[in-house]
Amino acid sequence: MPERLELTKNVQFYKTNNCLDENVLSDVLNEATSNQEQDSDFILKTFRDIRTTTGNIEYKLTAKVFPTTKPVYFLSDDNIEDRIFAFIILVEIDDYLVVLSKSCANFSQILKDKFELIQTQDLSKLFGSNVEFQRMSLRNMTISDKAVRSRSYEASNLRGTLSTHAAGRSIPSHIKVRDGSRVKSISGTGRVVESSARQSIDDIVDWANLQIQLLTTANQNDFLSLFAKKIQLKEVLENSKPSALLIDIYQIVDNILDGTLKLKYELKKMEVIGSKKKRSKKYIKVSDRFQANLFSNLEKVYEINSDLEVVDFENNSELRINKNTLSILSKSLLKNIKIEENGKLENFLTYINRKGLFSVTFEDPKYMYFMDNCFEDRSGISEVDSILEMLQPQKDIEKVVSEKGTFTDTHKVFDANSMFGFVENICVDEDYIFCDDLGDEWADHITLNLTDLSISFIHSKHGDESTSASNLHDVVGQGIKNLGNMFFSKDQIDQKVTTSLLKQYKSGKGTQTQIDRIRKTTPNFSTDIDSLLKNHRLYRKCILSCSFISKQAIQVEFNKLKNKQPVRGHIVQLLWILSSFSHATKEANVIPIIYCAA
């Protein structure tokens, strides 16, 4: 019967560590076939059948092929279902378990608990030294809501064309390569796929055995060695404690939108049946408003205190340390929210833990927990020094008392003790100064320097001196959001100068002033901007002017990080936000600068 199987090269590899027994395999089979069509028979059924391939590889085959049904989501009639066929195939080769499956019920939790999934970093050994990297998805080691958390690249060959700046703090989650005439891909779920025609089970085993030999003998691909390094959770916990938590909600949202998942709320009530009371359960679909509110709260970053409790939810929610993984534990949070997948209901929080849909940062920012694995930033804490270089103390910035100052209808300049007035004083030697605040703004101020051959976008923010990360969120977000606008065309800047910037400044509270929004100019703007944009030496600066930042105060805290001394969670977040700003600007070929206090 197994000879009937025609399969593609689409597998997961697990290390069994000599703990594989019949009971575990039976549990896997029972869970995988729990969605079998009622009263149906197995098309194929074999258990630990000892076989030998034509390549003389001995293996044990466990397989089940069975019919199952799936709800039809595009019809309201709940009785209409699609009938399809599913399979679960387990191949034992030495101390490895090779898993192939299609349309089964989810059985990943049992495998996760009992075996060690071979992860992306180790699977990179399957790539030869001369492969062409055609596609990569990267997860940034950040949970900042002002940062790009993941990004994808595609090219004929990313090696040599993809900038590896900050690669050390990026986790590869999906990789596709071309190796001669073959195309291979590996994913963050440990899945290996190689393009090929359908093959017999013996041919698949011969191929899988070759991959196992590479896993045990080959070196990691040198290109992938530039990225974040996988590290054991216990090693991280010996040196650092968790500091913040982010639930990766977007994958769930996408699956709900396409109908793969449904959210339901569990209602419990007591019913009297005869002389006895019985508790009954009812599951109702959650409203769009409830769902939107739930997602809005789940996408926030939550701090973790020294007792591993979720800050503001200390009495009922915490981070639990398991043998090899972390999980979220809550006595009341999400307790009655269920998620439905393929007709099966599961607690929402259990689903998040099972899928590993959350990230954790640590007091030591070079570590991050993502998709049930810990990673170490290979770029090292030395990045602190380059971040501190962005901070440029400005004389008298501590005398600033407001962001924009006061306004009357006779004002012709911004108050000298406002951040806007302070910035214009710093930029007095620039050739052009524009105040682009309010409306379709690119920045609070835009300056052009014809001698220095530079374009600067300046974003201002005032506040009391603090090392709080929250003060930086908005201004960093504005800076990153407008990076694309820094590469404006002559027509775009002409349009702005001849329309909105011709008007005088009107405060956010509606006071019309006599402050010209073109703060400094020359009669030769059209010629100057044309010459500037064509000059190959032109460079751009994104400047954040922040009166609430003290370089000395930040340096003290960041030096603690370098010396592996404990710091509060918001200091780690501050580092990630500043790092995100630095990397976003540099990847856009823009120089990052932050004006601050000494």
Residues 193 and 271 in one domain: no
Q: Is residue 355 pLDDT above 90, yes or no?
A: no
Of the segments 321-335, 376-390, 539-553, 564-578, which one has the largest average pLDDT value? 539-553
The Cα 73–Cα 275 span in angstroms is 41
| Residues 582-587, mean pLDDT to the nearest whole number | 83
**DSSP alpha helix (H) spans, 404-489:** 419-426, 470-481
| Residues 141-148, mean pLDDT to the nearest whole number | 74
Domain total for the chain? Answer: 3
Residues 345 and 448 in one domain: no
The residue segments making up the domain with residue 412 are 383-597
Of 361, 368, 350, the residue nearest 108 (C-alpha):
350
Residues 148 and 95 in one domain: yes
Residues 222 and 297 in one domain: no
Residues 209 and 125 in one domain: yes
Structure tokens at 495: 């349009």
Note if the pTM is more than 0.85: no
Sheet of 242-247, strand order: 229-231, 373-376, 367-370, 358-362, 242-247, 301-303
- Strand 539-550 versus strand 301-303 pairing type: unpaired
Looking at residue 202, the DSSP 8-state letter turns out to be H
pLDDT value for 282: 81
Q: What is the average pLDDT value for the chain, to the nearest integer?
A: 87
The Cα 598–Cα 278 span in angstroms is 69
Handedness of CA 297, 300, 304, 308 (dihedral sign): positive
Among 208, 227, 246, the domain-final residue is 227
Decide: 74 and 104 in contact? Cβ < 8 Å.
no
Residues 260 and 405 in one domain: no
Among 317, 342, 376, the domain-final residue is 376
| Number of CB atoms found within 10 A of residue 225's CB | 13
Structure tokens at 557: 């805290």
437-484 per-position pLDDT tens digit = 877 889 999 999 999 999 999 999 998 887 776 678 888 988 999 999
The Cα 293–Cα 155 span in angstroms is 39
Per-residue pLDDT band at 130 (split at 50, 70, 90): confident
Residues 100 and 53 in one domain: yes
Residue 32, classified by CB atoms within 10 Å of its CB into exposed (0-12), middle (13-18) or buried (19+), is buried
pLDDT value for 508: 76
| Residues 181-190, mean pLDDT to the nearest whole number | 87
Grouping H, G, I as helix, E, B as strand and the rest as coil, residue 569 is: helix
262-319 per-position pLDDT tens digit = 888 888 766 666 666 667 778 888 888 888 888 888 888 889 999 999 988 888 899 9
The Cα 196–Cα 203 span in angstroms is 11
Residues 369 and 387 in one domain: no
The Cα 9–Cα 457 span in angstroms is 51
Residues 328 and 421 in one domain: no
| Residues 367-380, mean pLDDT to the nearest whole number | 82
Decide: 332 and 247 in contact? Cβ < 8 Å.
no
Residues 346 and 306 in one domain: yes
Q: Is residue 244 pLDDT above 70, yes or no?
A: yes
Per-residue pLDDT band at 237 (split at 50, 70, 90): very high
pLDDT value for 164: 65
The Cα 177–Cα 423 span in angstroms is 49
Residues 212 and 359 in one domain: no
| Residues 145-162, mean pLDDT to the nearest whole number | 81
Q: Is residue 57 pLDDT above 60, yes or no?
A: yes
| Residues 53-71, mean pLDDT to the nearest whole number | 92
Backbone angles phi and psi of 422, in degrees to 5: -60, -45
CA–CA distances in Å: residue 485 to residues 354, 489, 493: 42, 9, 10
Among 376, 401, 425, the domain-final residue is 376
Q: Is residue 523 pLDDT above 70, yes or no?
A: yes
Backbone angles phi and psi of 485, in degrees to 5: -70, -15
Structure tokens at 531: 């010459």
Q: Is residue 377 pLDDT above 90, yes or no?
A: no
Q: Is residue 67 pLDDT above 60, yes or no?
A: yes
The Cα 158–Cα 387 span in angstroms is 27
Residues 328 and 275 in one domain: yes
Decide: 265 and 338 in contact? Cβ < 8 Å.
yes
pLDDT value for 426: 93
% of the chain with per-residue pLDDT over 70? 94
